[in-house]
Amino acid sequence: MHIHLTGSHIELLFGKNYQLTNIMDLTIPGQFACAENVSIIGPEGRIDNVVLVGPARPYSQVEISRTNGLTLGIDAPLRTSGDIAGSPGIRIIGPEAELELTEGVIMAARHVHMHSDDAEKLGLETGDTVNIRVPGPRGLVFNEVKIKCGQDEALEMHVDFDEGHAAGITDFQEVELILN
């Protein structure tokens, strides 16, 4: 679970001209985990210490798992990141203020980030789907994994917390990409 915020929402929640603190660069170039965190409140529950991912985005979005949705009382739709139209809203609490999003809560569809050069070698484009086989004692095959490719992407699969735990995935574990 994590959250992306617009610049104006960052300023509202953390203060005027606030700059997020990069504590760790992520695999995707230019993205980073922030020292700052927020609380989110749904109709039935609250989750504290939600990680912010920087930098600021053109839209605010909260990516949750099915289990997070049960805790919050939110039936979040399964969507591609950025597809927030018509999704549920949520209350976000920062150190300086609170914000009521009218939409923006999704379960992010599983996906693989991939540099354009890698995608070209495999004959893939953004929006294509592949299967991913996870080896190991709890291994499984994830079907319908979306491809997101571009010059600013790096090879990495993203699944939510629930999916990762079901397969016993560890960070940076190697998996097998199976072309459809």
Where is the domain boundary, 61, 88, 108? 108
Burial code of 4-27, b = ≥16 C-beta within 10 A, e = fewer?
bbeeebbbbbbeeebebeeeeeee
Residue 180: how many CB atoms within 10 A of its CB? 10
**161-170 pLDDT per residue, tens:** 999 999 999 8
Looking at the structure, do residues 9 and 84 belong to the same domain, yes or no?
A: yes
Indicate whether 17 and 71 sit together in one domain.
yes
Query: In the numeric block, which tokens belong to residue 34?
Result: 């922030």
pLDDT at residue 172 above 90?
A: no
Q: What is the pLDDT of residue 145?
A: 97
Encode pLDDT of 136-169 as tens digits.
999 999 999 999 999 999 999 999 999 999 999 9
Of 108, 131, 166, the one marking the end of a domain is 108
Residue range 51-104, pLDDT digits in tens: 999 999 999 999 999 999 999 999 999 999 999 999 999 999 999 999 999 999
> Per-residue confidence at 180, pLDDT binned at 50, 70, 90?
confident
Confidence of residue 32 (pLDDT cuts 50, 70, 90): very high
Residue 171 has pLDDT above 90, yes or no: no
| Distance, CA of 24 to CA of 68 (rounded, Å) | 24
Note down the domain range covering 165.
Answer: 111-179
How much of the chain, in percent, has pLDDT values that exceed 70?
100
Residue-averaged pLDDT of the chain: 96
Alpha-carbon distance of 12 to 95, in angstroms, equals 9
Residue 9 has pLDDT above 90, yes or no: yes
CA distances from 55 to 6, 30, 46, 178 (A): 9, 8, 25, 32
Contact 50, 37 (CB under 8 A): yes
Residue linked to tokens 């929402």: 9
Domain at 117, CATH number: 2.40.40
The one-letter amino acid at 159: V
Q: In the numeric block, which tokens belong to residue 148? A: 């997101």
Statement: residue 41 has pLDDT above 90: yes
pLDDT confidence of residue 160: 93
The domain boundary residue, chosen from 55, 87, 108: 108
Mean pLDDT to the nearest integer, 1-7: 97
| Same domain for 47 and 97 | yes
